[in-house]
């Protein structure tokens, strides 16, 4: 899309939102899963209406007011009735912290609740929502609305819920300030420009409120405002540390605070030089230490609940402590100590590669850098680790770092935006992928040491742990570019709250809240979503080979189209075979597999036990090697690409059967996307199959 076309489209979206945001007339795609559709089954409607005749609230605060506002908006839309405010505390919906409700004669046991957890108890006369904190009440309010939208029984509830992961953050890769020619206002963003209009924030306040509603409804409790690339190639994210931006951050933080969302920013390690004018940024320089301390004091004076910093250092052109012969722990601790008096944290990314004397295998390099400094990070510093050793590929093994740093706070970084999984032009539901990551057993402390247990603090005694998702949000009307990509946004939040939820549960929740309860819609959309990740993998990069897309100019086409010839260093394809041998501990080999604990290493190092979906990530094999199916590798590649295209063709056909069962706007939007996806999938099939035929000279066996 040209810049002019993008500008016209953005202005059209903006006009639509100014006219309709936060009202029943807002576009369905804008309201997402908070559409609060009327229940059409009278019996169910009557049951809910009888229960929600009045609302009694104990306590006052901005967060409690947000809870009340949401319940009033949601219940009025769903039940078509106003919620009467009462002080009876004897029937209907009763809300208050346990401390406040005890003063109303209602005693509840909340001893097992965390500061963000909530309790729901009900009988035929009343439903009680309680918590230890106001924020717990907000999460509980959204859960009540989720239960109603999914038409769950509420008359015999006895429920206690706590989030299983402490820090649950969106990471925006938005670029504030002036963006250089050829760069986007959102790096790896495919849903329009940034929602953060820094020069006219107040004009978009309702959108920021709705943004916060979406985050809080899924349990997300923090947001990083800007791209981790803050200065390279003319970017200006570093300016968020300047006096010009502090009032703007303060304004947004005031909105976030009403929904329990902490604000964080990405900062440049060289900020003392870039912003402060110092001659160096050496962590050992007292002047540098003072600069960071003073900057933290300045921020917290205006934003007392500021969360802290996210840092990309010594990586892809962003400077870091290695310039001074120091470690990443030295760099992280400099910032952590400036934040600690205020309760802030620093999240330090482990996405570091390409340095001199590094292992030639990019996958192995983060472990080599970070494992030796385990235990050297301060207790308010967190190492943020991408899910895999490469870069958000459609499939790759779980990073070895998660089981290698028991003495260092850790955070998982996932990518909600679809940088390598089709942008906004392919449906690729990532919840099934993320489930394989959460459920992966590292064997760090024997069998049963899954990633989700490490992140929840069950395995190691971390003071801080968390999860971050690189946002797929932009200023498009539907927020995410592709309507069905909203399911990735929703699914990330739900899994960050509870990684034990199943793919099927999350899928059903999203569909019912977004489209309603029509059985045909449920069946078709569930099938498309739940199979789409594997389908995308089939027609792009099967068997774990990874990195088959075009390279890295930062524009809309980057990492989108097939370009296998320029990715040879990753797939190692030649005339006889393909794949990267990462199992041998000898010169010229990676031995990445050896970074895992022994049971995992033993599984990956042997061709017979290595999961086939990762076979070519760990092994270089002949094209004629036979898989468990009896097919050769080369025939599997041909067939997977052919079958993947056919599956997308079926998605389009099945979506057409939903015509008339939903509003025309959303039907046509997805229909167009799926039609285009057929074309792009065919391009991938033809490119990859042709490439491997030319290399191998082995013809495809037609079915």
> Residue 119 is inside which H or E element, if any?
strand 118-122
To the query of whether residue 683 is one of the catalytic residues in this protein, the response is no
SS3 per-residue string spanning 541-610: CHHHCCCCECCCCCCCCCCCCECHHHHHHHHCCCCCEECCCCCCCCCCCCCHHHHCCHHHHHHHHCCCCC
C-alpha triplet 74, 78, 79: angle, nearest 5°? 110
Q: Which residues touch 28 (CB under 8 Å, ≥6 apart)?
A: 35, 663, 665, 666
State how far the Cα of 680 lies from the Cα of 671, in Å rounded to an integer: 15
Catalytic residue among 391, 450, 475, 581: 391
Which stretches of 626-663 are DSSP H helices?
633-656
CB 409 within 8 A of CB 378: no
Residue 502 token pair? 């199943």
Q: What string of DSSP letters covers 31-88?
A: HGGG--PPP--HHHHHHHHHH-SEEEE----HHHHHHHHHHHHHHHHHHSS--EEES-
Angle between helices 664-696 and 519-540 (to 10 degrees): 20
Residue with tokens 């002019």: 4
- Measured in degrees and rounded to the nearest 5, phi and psi for residue 594 equal -70, -10
Given 70, 100, 318, 419, which residue is catalytic? 419
- CA 216 to chain centroid: 14
Q: Assess whether 668 carries a catalytic annotation.
A: no
**Both structure tokens of 518:** 């029509």
**Using alpha carbons only, how large is the chain's radius of gyration in Å?**
26
Check if 244 is active-site: no
The angle, 0 to 180 degrees and rounded to 10, between the axes of the packed helices 519-540 and 633-656 is: 150
- List residues bridging with 126 in a β-sheet: 92
Closest listed residue to residue 396, CA positions, set 666, 593, 157: 593
Q: Which of 294, 298, 316, 504 is catalytic?
A: 316
Phi and psi at 177, nearest 5°, equal: 75, -155
Give the residue numbers marked as catalytic: 316, 391, 419
């Amino acid at each position: 899309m040209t810049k002019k076309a993008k500008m016209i489209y953005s202005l059209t979206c903006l006009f639509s939102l100014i006219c309709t945001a936060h009202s029943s007339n807002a576009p369905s795609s804008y309201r997402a899963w908070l559409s609060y559709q009327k229940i059409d089954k009278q019996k169910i409607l009557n049951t809910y209406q009888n229960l929600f005749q009045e609302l009694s609230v104990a306590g006052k605060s901005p967060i409690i007011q947000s809870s009340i506002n949401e319940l009033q908006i949601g219940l009025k839309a769903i039940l078509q009735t106003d919620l009467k405010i009462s002080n009876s505390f004897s029937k209907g919906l009763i809300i208050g912290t346990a401390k406040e409700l005890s003063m109303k004669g209602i005693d509840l046991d909340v001893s097992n609740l965390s500061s963000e957890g909530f309790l729901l108890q009900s009988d035929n006369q009343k439903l009680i929502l309680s918590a230890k904190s106001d924020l717990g009440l907000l999460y509980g309010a959204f859960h009540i609305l989720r239960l109603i939208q999914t038409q769950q029984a509420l008359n015999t509830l006895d429920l206690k819920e706590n989030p299983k992961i402490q820090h649950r953050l969106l990471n925006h890769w938005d670029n504030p300030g002036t963006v250089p020619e050829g760069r986007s206002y959102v790096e790896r963003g495919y849903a329009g420009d940034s929602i953060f209009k820094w020069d006219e924030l107040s004009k978009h306040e309702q959108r920021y409120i709705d943004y916060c509603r979406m985050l809080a409804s899924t349990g997300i409790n923090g947001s990083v405002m800007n791209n981790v690339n803050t200065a390279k190639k003319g970017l200006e994210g570093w300016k968020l540390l300047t006096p010009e931006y502090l009032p703007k951050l303060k304004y947004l933080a005031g909105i976030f605070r009403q929904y329990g969302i902490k604000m964080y920013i990405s900062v440049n390690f060289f900020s003392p030089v870039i912003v402060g004018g110092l001659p160096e940024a050496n962590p050992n320089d007292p002047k540098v230490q003072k600069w960071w301390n003073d900057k933290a004091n300045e921020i917290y004076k205006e934003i007392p609940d500021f969360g802290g910093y996210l840092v990309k250092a010594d990586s892809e052109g962003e400077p870091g402590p290695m310039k001074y012969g120091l470690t990443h722990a030295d760099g992280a601790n400099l910032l952590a100590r400036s934040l600690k008096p205020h309760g802030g944290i620093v999240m330090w990314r482990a996405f570091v590669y390409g340095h001199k004397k590094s292992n030639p295998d990019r996958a192995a390099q983060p472990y080599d850098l970070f494992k030796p400094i385990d235990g050297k990070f301060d207790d308010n510093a967190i190492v943020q680790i991408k899910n895999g050793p490469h870069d958000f590929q459609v499939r790759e093994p779980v990073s070895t770092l998660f089981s290698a740093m028991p003495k260092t706070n850790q955070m998982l970084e996932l990518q909600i935006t679809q940088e390598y999984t089709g942008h906004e032009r392919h449906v690729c539901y990532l919840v099934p992928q993320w489930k394989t990551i959460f459920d992966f057993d590292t064997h760090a402390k024997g069998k049963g040491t899954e990633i989700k247990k490490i992140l929840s603090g069950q395995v190691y005694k971390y003071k801080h742990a968390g999860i971050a998702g690189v946002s797929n949000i932009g200023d498009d009307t539907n927020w995410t570019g592709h309507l069905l990509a909203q399911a990735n946004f929703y699914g990330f939040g739900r899994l960050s709250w509870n990684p034990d939820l199943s793919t099927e549960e999350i899928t059903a929740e999203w569909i019912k809240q977004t489209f309603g309860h029509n059985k045909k819609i449920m069946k078709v959309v569930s099938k498309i979503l739940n199979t789409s990740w594997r389908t995308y993998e089939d027609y792009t990069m099967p068997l774990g080979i990874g990195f088959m897309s075009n390279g890295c100019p930062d524009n809309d086409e980057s990492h989108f189209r097939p370009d296998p010839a320029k990715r040879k260093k990753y797939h190692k394809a030649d005339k006889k075979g393909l794949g990267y041998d990462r199992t041998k501990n000898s010169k010229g080999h990676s031995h990445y597999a050896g970074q895992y604990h022994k049971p995992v290493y033993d599984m990956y190092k042997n061709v017979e036990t290595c999961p086939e979906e990762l076979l070519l990530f760990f092994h270089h094999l002949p094209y004629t090697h036979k898989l468990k199916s009896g097919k050769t590798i080369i025939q599997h590649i041909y067939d997977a690409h052919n079958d993947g295209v056919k599956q997308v063709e079926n998605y389009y056909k099945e979506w057409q059967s939903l015509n008339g069962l939903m509003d025309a706007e959303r039907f046509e939007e997805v229909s167009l996307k799926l039609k285009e996806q057929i074309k792009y999938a065919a391009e991938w099939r033809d490119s990859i199959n042709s490439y491997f035929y030319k290399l191998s000279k082995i013809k495809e066996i037609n079915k």
